[in-house]
Amino acid sequence: MIILQFIDALMNRSDPFVGSQRHAVRSAFLVLTVSSCFFGLIGCGSSSAVSIAADASASNGTTVPNADPLMGVPDDFELEIKVLVGSKVVDQDLLERREVHMVLFPDGTLHAAAGSAVIPGARPGLARTLLRGQVADAWALLGRLDLRETGDSPAQPVRPPGQAEIVHVIEVTANGDRKRSVARFVGPSRDSVSTTLIRSIGGLAWLPDAPEAGNDIIPLRYDFGPDPWERYRGTLDSKESLSP
């Protein structure tokens, strides 16, 4: 209202131009004022509607986009997979039929080895560190395969495989408890849940199936000169071994 009175004072001057344009300016100002108030009310209503919709989504259990994927995964979740192969198993072409050892630790580090790289009783080398979502996917896969709580406590060592036998050993640690499930096969093992898990985790660890015969890549060894520790192994004569 104060602004309108100020405009009226300006328009009541003796200037003929102002007198002729007074009603037009006043009308335009009123239109702008009403429009601002109208759109301001709409904006407030829209904000309220968005807030109400957000509250409704939260109450309905809608997933928040930025939620931590590990919220439903136990803090001590650990997965260890072994494939033990008998000495007379010939068709060791697929990953689930080869010697395999994989360990997924709670921090997301995935250790893996296959074939001749598997050393009994030793932890395999680090393959990669999984993303948080990948660790959550591994935990979810165990749930779909019903392997989270399957099996018994690993109090006793696993019986070695027979000569023509393949053994899948899966150990899952979660919520302070560790369970071991063992599956034994003589012949095909393609349709088992353990095979699905082995191939899934093996894919994350970049473990391939056995290469076809004749396609093995032999690494090139470089000659780095004489062995600097040879003098301490007694392979040289005593006089040369004592020389600086």
Do 89 and 165 touch, CB atoms closer than 8 A? yes
Residue 225 lies in a domain: no
Q: Is residue 141 assigned to a domain? A: yes
pLDDT tens digits for range 1-56: 555 555 555 455 545 444 545 555 555 555 555 555 454 544 444 444 434 444 54
Q: Tell whether 89 and 35 lie within a shared domain.
A: no
Let me know the angle formed at the C-alpha of 119 by 100 and 86, rounded to the nearest 5 degrees: 55
Q: Quote the mean pLDDT of the chain.
A: 77
| Segment (H or E) for 21 | helix 16-59
Q: What is the pLDDT of residue 212?
A: 59
Residues in the chain: 244
Q: Are residues 83 and 41 in the same domain?
A: no
Do 7 and 90 have their domain in common?
no
| Alpha helices in 145-192, H assignment, sequence order | none
In angstroms, the CA 160 to CA 118 distance is 15
Domain count, the chain: 2
Domain limits for position 9: 2-59
In tens, the pLDDT along 98-139 reads 999 999 999 999 999 998 899 988 999 999 999 999 999 999
- Does 44 reside within a domain? yes
- Is the pLDDT assigned to residue 216 strictly greater than 50? yes
Question: Percentage of residues in the chain with pLDDT exceeding 70?
Answer: 61
Q: What are phi and psi of 242, to 5 degrees?
A: -90, -10
102 and 154 within one domain? yes
Check pLDDT > 70 for residue 195: yes
